[in-house]
Amino acid sequence: MKFTMSSKVNLISILSLLLLGGCLPQDEQEPLVPYGGIIGSTSNSIYTHQSFFSLPDSNEVSNNLNAAWDLGFEASPNGEHVILNNSDLLRIANLGAVDFSQTTQVPANAIWLYDASSGNYDSLAIMNWVNTIVSPFEYTQNVYILGQMGEDSIRPLKKFQLIELTPNKYRIVIGKLDNSEQDTFTIEKNPAKNFVKVSIRNNFDIVPIEPTSDDWDILFTQYEDSIPDDYGVLYPYVLRGTFINHSKIKVAYYYISTNEVPANPDDPNRESGELKAYFEGNSIKPAADSAYTSEWDAIGWKWKKVTIDEAANTAIYKVDTRRIYLIKDLLNGTEYKLRFFSYYSNGVVGYPVFQYIRM
């Protein structure tokens, strides 16, 4: 599925960006009782940075500003897919096989797309630009416009055309809509990574921000997804959550029911302690193989809930500590269970704090 933009999208997205404030709920503070396993967190806010985390090494491998890159090129020898940086609210308009130099404006009926958060290659904003079934490869010569969502419109940034693919590289033509700063660039593949990231807004810099694919497991990031409204209509929404390294791990979902640990609204601290003991004990087992998925948003954003006060322009977040993620490392067979317990750091929202244990 591909997603487009509407006026309602702007209102929803802007609201989600503005609601950065909020107080620190009592049950979101750092735990007074030591937690078992490993406690992980990010050094920067998920609102401004992407943060790569390694479970075996229990550390943040690297981080980068949301605006650090624009396009990611699949880095394996057989790779042909190009992904878009959704964390910086970027969009792509595919104008088709038009003349590059004659493309000086964006048609009013242009459809602006972004990648599905699942990471499925059949749901990307840039698709079918090359036919690799025939030899030599055939290219559509489509012209794409890179844009960025603003308060009430999409702002065009650059135009580009993908013109060559080999086992070692991509070639791309880039320029401004007025045909200035036009040039052809080469992106060398790097099989040690999932994607090679580039910034075409910044004089086409190759941005060495993504760690090698064996060195990270989960990514904390801002991104977009389609969520149904009260009438079931899907609209894009700005979210903050967790992606997985699809080439290294798989994830299954488990929820601690009230049959396993009874709810205790009269004594939340006792309920929290019982959930902690249940999570840290041996009650939760690995799931069946069929329950695991490698979709990028397998962890996603639903581990937290928000209460919004539009009049005060605040949002209070509460983490659902019953929501458990079972993680299987495809490289060495190690399995983990992971849950979140806070979304604050010193009272500031946007810092996921989580607990995980090797099973």
Residue with the larger pLDDT of the pair 114 and 25? 114
Q: Is the pLDDT of residue 9 over 60?
A: no
Over residues 211-224, the mean pLDDT reads: 97
Give the DSSP H or E segment for 271.
helix 268-280
Residues in the chain: 359
Say if pTM beats, i.e. exceeds, 0.75. yes
Over residues 8-15, the mean pLDDT reads: 38
- Summarised one tens digit per residue, pLDDT across range 136-149 is 999 999 999 999 98
Residue with tokens 């902690």: 276
Per-residue confidence (pLDDT) for residue 333, from 0 to 100 = 94
Cis peptide before 136 (omega within 30 of 0): yes
SS3 call for 207: strand
DSSP sequence for 325-347: EEEEETTT--EEEEEEEEEEETT
In the sheet that holds 49-54, the strands lie side by side as 59-65, 49-54, 218-228, 234-244
- In the structure, what pLDDT confidence band is assigned to residue 27 with cuts at 50, 70 and 90? very low
Question: What is the spatial distance between Cα 313 and Cα 23, in angstroms, rounded to a whole number?
Answer: 12
Q: Is the pLDDT of residue 21 over 60?
A: no
Q: Is the pLDDT of residue 279 over 90?
A: yes
Strands 112-113 and 323-329, how do they pair?
unpaired
Per-residue confidence (pLDDT) for residue 202, from 0 to 100 = 82
Over residues 25-48, the mean pLDDT reads: 71
Q: Is the pLDDT of residue 153 over 90?
A: no
Q: Is the pLDDT of residue 91 over 90?
A: yes
Q: Is the pLDDT of residue 83 over 80?
A: yes
Per-residue confidence (pLDDT) for residue 355, from 0 to 100 = 95
Contacts of 14 (CB under 8 A, 6+ apart): 151
Q: Is the pLDDT of residue 11 over 50?
A: no
Residue with the larger pLDDT of the pair 237 and 185? 185
Per-residue confidence (pLDDT) for residue 294, from 0 to 100 = 97
- Mean pLDDT of all residues belonging to the chain: 89
Per-residue confidence (pLDDT) for residue 350, from 0 to 100 = 95
Share of the chain above pLDDT 70, in %: 90
- In the structure, what pLDDT confidence band is assigned to residue 35 with cuts at 50, 70 and 90? low
Q: Is the pLDDT of residue 229 over 90?
A: no
Q: Which long-range contacts (CB under 8 A, 24 or more apart) does 18-23 make?
A: 18/313, 19/306, 19/308, 19/313, 19/314, 19/315, 20/47, 20/315, 20/349, 20/350, 21/313, 21/314, 21/315, 21/349, 22/314, 22/315, 22/316, 22/317, 22/349, 23/314, 23/316, 23/347
Contacts of 286 (CB under 8 A, 6+ apart): 252, 326, 328, 335, 359
Q: Is the pLDDT of residue 1 over 90?
A: no
Q: Is the pLDDT of residue 73 over 90?
A: yes
Q: Is the pLDDT of residue 16 over 90?
A: no
Over residues 12-34, the mean pLDDT reads: 41
Q: Is the pLDDT of residue 31 over 60?
A: no
- In the structure, what pLDDT confidence band is assigned to residue 18 with cuts at 50, 70 and 90? very low
Per-residue confidence (pLDDT) for residue 308, from 0 to 100 = 84
